[in-house]
Amino acid sequence: MNLQEKKLEFIAEVHTSALNKYQDEMILDFIEYWTETDRRKKKMRFESQKFFSMGRRLSTWARNDKKWNAPKILNTQVRGATTITERLLNGLSND
């Protein structure tokens, strides 16, 4: 499986786990952070973790997001996309 396919699989798992639980901007930040690649473009950050439970990571991220970040005004339209999935896929197509 190549890096792009792994990223799509990760996004699908996040979408399933986060559905109607978290704000879109927080989900996008989470995905950007955990899918960052190493210098050789072989692995993403989440693959380097010994343990990675999507639900636990998301809940911890959300708890820390509330604690460390001021409330954000959400922009519901990014490049014409209307759903979080469309926004994520649009971002991938521009990589």
Contact 7, 92 (CB under 8 A): yes
Type of residue numbered 19 = L
Q: What is the pLDDT of residue 29?
A: 93
**pLDDT score for 69:** 76
Q: Would you mind telling me the total number of residues written for the chain in this entry?
A: 95
pLDDT at 90: 72
Specify the long-range contacts of residues 77-85, CB closer than 8 Å, at least 24 apart: 84/15, 84/24, 84/27, 84/28, 85/11, 85/15
Give CA–CA dist 61/11, Å, rounded: 15
Q: Can you list the residues of the chain whose pLDDT is less than 70?
A: 70-86, 91-95
What's the pLDDT score for residue 45? 96
